[in-house]
Amino acid sequence: MRTLHLVVSVLFLSTCFAAAQMPSTLTLMPVPAKIQLGAGQLVVDQLFTVALTGAKDARLDTGIPGFLDQLSRQTGMPLNKDSGDSTKATLVIRCENAGRKVQELGEDESYTLEVTAARATLTGPTPLGVLHGLQTLLQLVEPTPAGFAVPVLTIHDEPRFAWRGLLIDVCRHFMPLDVMKRNLDGMAALKLNVLHWHLSDDEGFRVESKKFPKLHEMGSQGQYYTQAEIREFIGYARDRGIRVVPEFEMPGHSRSIVVGYPELASQPGPYPPGRVARDATALDVTQEKTYKFLDKLIGEMAGLFPDSYFHIGGDEVNDKPWNSNPKIQEFIRAHGMKDNRDLQAYFNKSLEKIVSKHGKIMMGWDEVLHPDLPKTVVVQSWRGQESLATAAKEGYRGLLSNGYYLDLMWPAARHYAVDPMSGAAATLTPEEAKRILGGEACMWAEYITPETIDSRVWPRLAAIAERFWSPPDVKDPQSMYLRLDEVSWRLGWLGLTHESNYVPMLHRLAGTEDIRALRVLADAVEPTKDYTRSEVFPQPPVKTVPMNRLSDAARPESAVARRFAELVGTYIESGYKDSAAEAQIRAWCVKWQGNHPTVKPLLERSFLLTEDQPLSEDLATLSATGLQALDAIGKNQSLPEAWRAEQLAVVQRSMQPRANVVVMVAPSIQKLIEAASPQTASHP
Ligand code: ACM
């Protein structure tokens, strides 16, 4: 922390900042392209009014009152929503042009925000820029000795990438519209502009179809959105500058389609509703009736979803149903194809004609890449950055999702370090590089529920949003975390539950009022990562598996473990001289060591917690080890190799998933162990 203050005071010698060195007094996220900080502030009090000049757009008619509501919520002050006189208003907005009827990829999203001590002026060439500028202004309002205020400054801002998305899977677990809407509010706050709605998969078909009602009637377990709900939701997204791109999975991940329409499957079935045999289904893409069906279905859905882009999935096609159907294998031979991949390419080519006939641009996951794939298709890379660069070289436009999978439970900094233009993409020519439209974070829903989704999306998505919006030199993880912590509580004002559900979930686990000791444990652990979660409950069906354990309450990235790691890093880097850091490390270890006897009765009394006892024991053991290490380092002693081996075994065990949880402070204790017992040079 000390080094940080130094950085801040150096920066304050100047008032004009390149984006990468935004003044640390500002907690803006994403960091704007250009900021010039002045002196003084604009007070935001109950006389605050807004005047709109320039072009009219319905999004501003809802966006401006929405902004005032949010400002009221943030400040706790009732505000006047009548539009102000543009010569006197506190905030004067000038929107230069009305927007497109349907929001388009690549519309100008820039804005300029000028704040003086007398007023703020927000100018945008389109309503989208104005909406983004309003979000920036909301982040700038802070309490000061003179009241709520915004610092005097000028911001010129625009996004780095035109496509800044979040995928939400509503198939593995259905997400009601209120959950979807609050996540749209969060996206708008972070200037994300595409919701990729994963609407069909093996586990469910989540849209009402009037042409093929057995899709939602038999393939959704009764959990789907009506067409009226979808229209309303798309309007809600539009008002926030967000496009909605639907995804319907084909030819794999398609079990929910063949439940009602088994004649489309490659195997006769049966496919009883409500049960899931994952990935075991593929559409029969050799028969004419499949294309007739898809033509009608895509036509219906193209009418429902106004966006120009239409995602057909295309990933992870399971070969088995094609291999074991002699008619399909004969079709492959008769058409001179080599294999199933060629068959999928044949399907994609036919599908692209259907999608474009209905006025849409087709998108697919990177498995769709094939020499026969039409160049208009947008390729979404989930298997690696390589495929994005390959696609761009071959003339396709693409999006990066590899590196942005929120369900892998990575820390924000790891996602933040992934850049759509890095890796193989760094070798692209400027022409090829232009084909990379941006990226999308993915929230797959195997292990989330409406109760836990926000804590899996937020606040980490804010770091990814910054990667997509801010200039590429904005990449300091320490600065990112300072701002992420601030953005996180602000997101709570939008009704997001990533913070607010935590304590109630701990109460449920313990079944008691005093959960302080459980919280100490929960704060120090994280859910297991990289798809190592094992289901301890019977399945299928997936949707009835309760998500009510410590692994569900625990945050994907423990702020306590992160700060502890920073302290240990500071202490080691100081050559063990930073006594303030040492004292804090010691205090944490004492707390964790003493926590086990207190939390033990809670863990014993609830069936939801008994599985967590070994974790708490190991946290206490690790803490005792940490204290021993600090003592040894303080006395300049080296602890024996046998001690080191024994303690490192506990570290190893703590990082192995148990009850789907890892003790996230273990890697920091490992550093202390290694410092207290350095490996002696081996003798030849
Ligand atoms: C994917 O994760 N199979 C797109």
| pLDDT digit string, tens, across residues 78-118 | 998 887 788 889 999 999 999 899 999 999 999 999 999 99
Q: Are 81 and 75 in contact (CB under 8 A)?
A: no
Residue 246 has phi, psi (to 5 degrees) of: -85, 150
Distance (Å, rounded) from C-alpha 145 to C-alpha 167? 42
Q: Which residues are catalytic?
A: 316
Burial class for 423, CB neighbours closer than 10 Å (0-12, 13-18, 19+): middle
* Greatest distance between any 2 Cα atoms in the chain: 85
Q: 365 in ligand 1 pocket by Cβ < 6 Å?
A: yes
Q: Are 423 and 473 in contact (CB under 8 A)?
A: no
Q: 279 in ligand 1 pocket by Cβ < 6 Å?
A: no
pTM for this model (two decimals): 0.95
Tell me the CA distances in angstroms from 544 to 76, 107, 540, one per residue in order: 40, 42, 8
Distance (Å, rounded) from C-alpha 141 to C-alpha 410? 31
Residue ranges of the chain with per-residue pLDDT less than 70: 1-25, 275-279, 535-544, 680-684
Distance (Å, rounded) from C-alpha 360 to C-alpha 354? 9
Q: Match 């909605």 to its residue by tokens.
A: 244
- β 243-248/204-205 pair status: unpaired
Burial class for 678, CB neighbours closer than 10 Å (0-12, 13-18, 19+): exposed
Residue type, 574: S
Q: Which residues have C-beta within 8 Å of that of residue 660, sequence separation ≥ 6?
A: 527, 528, 533, 534, 536, 549, 551
- In the prediction, which pLDDT does 235 show? 98
Write the DSSP symbol of residue 403: T
Q: How far is the CA of 382 from the centre of ligand 1 (A)?
A: 6
Q: By C-alpha distance, which of 105, 121, 112 is closest to 157?
A: 112
* Residue from 168, 250, 316 to probe ligand 1 pocket by mutation (most atoms less than 8 Å from CB): 316
- In the prediction, which pLDDT does 532 show? 86
Burial class for 576, CB neighbours closer than 10 Å (0-12, 13-18, 19+): middle
- In the prediction, which pLDDT does 22 show? 65
Which atom in ligand 1 lies closest to the alpha carbon of residue 253?
3
Distance (Å, rounded) from C-alpha 286 to C-alpha 332? 9
CA quadruple 480, 485, 486, 488: dihedral sign? positive
Distance (Å, rounded) from C-alpha 434 to C-alpha 348? 24
Distance (Å, rounded) from C-alpha 286 to C-alpha 294? 13
Q: How far is the CA of 442 from the centre of ligand 1 (A)?
A: 9
* Residue from 367, 382, 388 to probe ligand 1 pocket by mutation (most atoms less than 8 Å from CB): 382
Find residue 440's DSSP bridge partners. Answer: 165
Q: By C-alpha distance, which of 464, 633, 125, 58 is closest to 133?
A: 125
Find residue 663's DSSP bridge partners. Answer: 525
Distance (Å, rounded) from C-alpha 239 to C-alpha 63? 7
Q: 382 in ligand 1 pocket by Cβ < 6 Å?
A: yes
The tokens describing 130, both together, are 């104005």
- In a 3-state reduction of DSSP, which class is residue 362? strand
- In a 3-state reduction of DSSP, which class is residue 163? strand
Q: Are 198 and 247 in contact (CB under 8 A)?
A: yes
Q: How far is the CA of 496 from the centre of ligand 1 (A)?
A: 26
Q: How far is the CA of 22 from the centre of ligand 1 (A)?
A: 36
Distance (Å, rounded) from C-alpha 150 to C-alpha 140? 5
HSE-CB for 520 with a 13 A CA cutoff: 24
- In the prediction, which pLDDT does 6 show? 29
**Inter-axis angle of helices 127-140 and 477-492, to 10 degrees?**
90
Q: 485 in ligand 1 pocket by Cβ < 6 Å?
A: no
Distance (Å, rounded) from C-alpha 518 to C-alpha 503? 10
- In the prediction, which pLDDT does 541 show? 47
- Quick: pLDDT tens for 516-541: 999 999 999 999 999 888 765 445 54
Tell me the CA distances in angstroms from 636 to 56, 89, 132, 263, 631, one per residue in order: 72, 66, 55, 76, 9
Q: By C-alpha distance, which of 257, 245, 379, 351 is closest to 301?
A: 245
- In the prediction, which pLDDT does 376 show? 97
**DSSP calls for 437-497:** EEEEEEE--TT--TTTHHHHHTTHHHHHHHHHHS-TT---HHHHHHHHHHHHHHHHTTT--
